Amino acid sequence: MQKKAIIIGSGVAGLASAIRLSLSGFEITLFEKNNYPGGKLTGFKKGNYFFDAGPSLFTQPENIEELFNLANEPISNYLEYDAQAISCKYFYEDGSIINAYTNPQDFANELKTKLGEDASKVISYLKQSEKTYNNIGTIFLNYSLHKIATLFSAPILKALKAVKPGFLFGTLHQLNAKHFTNKKTVQLFDRYATFNGSNPYKAPGMLSLIPHLDNNIGTFYPKGGMISIANALYKLAVKLGVKFNFNCLVDKIITENNKVKGVSINQEIFYADVVVSNMDVYFTYKQLLKDDKKAKQILKQERSSSALIFYWGIKKSFPQLELHNIFFATDYKKEFDSLFNSKTIYNDPTVYVNITAKCEPGLHCPKGKENWFVMVNTPANTGQNWEVYQQQYKKNIITKLNKLLQTDIEPLIEVEEVLSPLTIESKTKSYMGSIYGTSSNGKLAAFYRHPNFSKAIKGLYFVGGSVHPGGGIPLCLQSAKITSKIIEEDFSIKI
């Protein structure tokens, strides 16, 4: 008899899990509380402007290509994307502007010309980033850290030889400050801690492997915007026979004798051999398993940062901006102290502006205008007055952009929508609005992330940004891969 699997949540990890388990022979039923697939990876239209609502950076398309290859489906029928020459454009308060080229030598030359940084040091840093990623990072991304079998199947010895003291016993900031001479270069590479919602002054130097993705492999733009990724995965899952049920909020995961039996929705029970939760692991325990003790244990780990996003329809074109743009805070350390220590508003925030109109003019807004996704990192929600914070952040953002772009921005805003930590939590079940679940602010943080399976309940598994290996599209896709492999092993399925 065909085994049945239920997946809770259609975020990227949920969709990828549905595809993989369907190909493994499971009959898949997916329940989603919203009326659309994609989780955070969705979009919306307001007036004449379309906005990607969530993640805006696309790296490692090979993770998505793999799913279509496994299904013997040409990805070009579902998704097309282009490589970008510039991963991000950086603006500093003193007027310095850096183009982070995806060609390492071009990037090194840019930092030498603009900041006087030794180009050879930039190249050596990126080579070390690649080495760290290939020798150490791939273990975290491809294997469970909570299975004894990993010690025998993963290239552990190779990884141990690549580990340097600064990766574990020093912070990312300390590693960067030791390697580079210009403080602006240090700040640029410190920023990569924010890719998983962490603090570069606390997170381990191991995170120096992240720049490899941007500056060696490169960044990409999916035609139609980031929502095209979710749509492509959804269409593939449907073609494979996955049954989607939208507007369905799971009330409870049903267990019996420490074994999963299915889920309950409006007092109706749906039975399955496997349940995969793509819901934040805290809420999975708190709401679906009614396990307050386990939920409290999850909270012993520091939550990641959250975000406040303003979606602005701008009635003007800014040729000096790229797809991805960063306007740095003057005092980066003070900003992170506010984010993780005092958990309060910071008056000079680093501002990220994403503009998909740069890649497809006239598609997401009228020609001559731009759709701005304007984001600042914020503390996770601990009861702050977000209505007041929203107004103050908007004022601070506009002040910064006015200065660095030498333009009065506010009169150019035709439409506006806002996403706060409160709405992030309500829409995506991300506890406290933490985008990446837990932070990586500690040398052993990766090992403290919740495993992709339950040690106490047979047949219960977890995917998504709140469990191993972490948040962000590439890591969520890897969580689905790791979890699917564990399920195949548990059920003796050979692919």
The label of the residue with tokens 């492509």 reads 232
> Residue 77 domain-assigned?
yes
Is pLDDT of 494 > 70?
A: no
Confidence of residue 140 (pLDDT cuts 50, 70, 90): confident
Domain presence at residue 188: yes
Q: Return the pLDDT at 137.
A: 73
Same domain (yes/no): 119, 202: yes
247: left (phi over 0), alpha (psi -120 to 50) or beta: left
Q: Which of 352, 376, 372, 378 is nearest to 412 (CA)?
A: 372
Q: Are residues 125 and 194 in the same domain?
A: yes
Nearest by Cα to 409 from 329, 307, 308, 313 = 313
Shared domain for 114 and 161, answered yes or no, is yes
274-302 pLDDT per residue, tens:
999 999 999 999 999 999 999 999 888 88
- Do the domain assignments include residue 401? no
> Per-residue pLDDT tens for 153-182?
555 555 545 556 555 669 999 999 999 999
For 262, the 3-state DSSP assignment is: strand
List, for residues 364-388, the tens digit of each pLDDT value. Answer: 999 999 999 999 999 999 999 999 9
Question: Can you give the pLDDT at residue 148?
Answer: 66
Q: What is the per-residue pLDDT for 417?
A: 97
Residue ending a domain, choose from 175, 207, 239: 207
The CATH number covering residue 236 comes to 3.50.50.60
Q: What's the predicted TM-score (pTM) here?
A: 0.94
Rounded Cα gap, residues 271 and 265, in angstroms: 11
Q: For residue 200, is pLDDT > 70?
A: yes
Assigned domain for 444 exists: yes
Which of 2-11, 141-150, 167-176, 431-440 has the highest average model confidence (pLDDT)? 2-11
Pairing of the two strands 49-52 and 43-46: antiparallel
Tokens found for residue 249: 């909020």
Distance in angstroms (rounded) separating the CA atoms of residues 477 and 267: 32
Total domains, the chain: 2
The domain in which residue 68 lies consists of 4-40+61-81+225-301+436-490
Same domain, 175 and 232: no
Are 418 and 307 within 8 A, CB to CB? Answer: no
Task: For the chain, give the mean pLDDT.
Answer: 93
In a domain, 28, yes or no: yes
